[in-house]
Structure 1
């Protein structure tokens, strides 16, 4: 197994502040050698259990479009050897993987199909703790929140 790219609990950060620091935009997303494996897993989960792994609150589509645009732009600029623009979307990796942009899916779901990372769209409001995300769709080892997010989602659903 490759060394972990990030070790947030190694003592270098003040406890309970992980995730509160601004990310370096150049390192925002980090596709690695397992990209195609995890995207295939996400595709299978979105196909077989979409209502379980994805939720979107009403009124968040504009923010989802903004996230999709930012992710697509970043991937093309930073990882042009892995992501290529096509007439209808983006080609990914060396195989025949293609993600259509502007289709019928919610924009955040489309963005989630492009990257290994789980995405969360949070907004201010009275619904404390509310969020929109593909719920733990990619069981990527070593990433914060995979299993705990799944438990949180189950415990807070009505």
Structure 2
């Protein structure tokens, strides 16, 4: 049985940039659905979990029960909703995609196993007196951040670099987390413009690209619209919120003419502070030159 093509969720729902949560309901059958992009992403994740384990994996003691609950939930979800690809085998789960049985006893903790099972990054946020805190995660494909730098922080601290977050989204996001009903799944899209095909983008200085700088002539092939499909789901026993991030990217050259025109309009409407935060002050003019 062949995996379906990797989707590319279009992140824009209007003619100009807007800073909104943009949440939509997601059916359980459409959550964490296997596609052809899983194979390459799982291979990259396995390498990162070997080579940079403590940069991409963490679990604080207060999230241990939530992580165990999450493992049970995802084993059940995959075996029920995607039974062609996943089957329970004792305490483990057989993945036809990976060709192996994933046994909890073979890994440090549930998030370590899930980092090898799914291409999605996973974050656990648990309630505390100081608000919802990031207390565990496996994040192999960050967009200019690293998990250890965010671990233990509440939502406003996690999002502090984001222009306008405190004024526009901090209160609605906290309220949404408080009121999210277990079993309901919602999703949103986040986007960026990358000049590196590697999905692991921790930020900080990078060596010059081996194939030379991005220019107006090669920008269509060397710049990528990077889209994160983010989902939120509350775990019923622990009350923790699971935040998942599946990252997709496409070179500007392979976008349809309609998508290219839409993205160009978005780039032209992004406020200066957001452009600086997203690095668009550097890559945006090259993208616009390529998009026409």
TM category, shorter: 0.7 to 0.9
CA shift at 1:109, angstroms? 2.3
The change in CA–CA distance for 1:36 and 1:156 in structure 2 (over 3 A counts) is closer
CA contact (8 A) 2:102 2:113 kept: yes
Cα distance in 2 for partners of 1:38, 1:93 equals 15
**Corresponding residue for residue 88 of structure 2:** 85
The change in CA–CA distance for 1:68 and 1:157 in structure 2 (over 3 A counts) is closer
Asked which structure has the greater RCO (Cα within 8 Å, sep 6+), the reply is 1
CA contact (8 A) 2:134 2:150 kept: no
Cα distance in 2 for partners of 1:50, 1:95 equals 20
Pairing 1:64–2:67 present = yes
CA shift at 1:122, angstroms? 0.6
Matches within 5 A, 1:6-155: 6-11=9-14, 15-18=19-22, 20-93=23-96, 96-125=99-128, 126=130, 130-135=134-139, 137=140, 139=141, 146-148=142-144, 151=145, 153=147
Cα distance in 1 for partners of 2:64, 2:151 equals 21
Rg bigger for which structure? 2
Cα distance in 2 for partners of 1:62, 1:49 equals 25
Structure 1, unaligned runs of 5 or more: 140-145
Cα distance in 1 for partners of 2:97, 2:58 equals 30
CA shift at 1:69, angstroms? 0.9
TM-score (norm 1): 0.74
| Secondary structure of the structure 2 residue equivalent to 1:60 | helix
Structure 2, unaligned runs of 5 or more: 153-292
Root-mean-square deviation over aligned CA pairs: 3.0
TM-score (norm 2): 0.43
CA contact (8 A) 1:35 1:115 kept: yes
CA contact (8 A) 1:90 1:101 kept: no
CA contact (8 A) 1:64 1:107 kept: yes
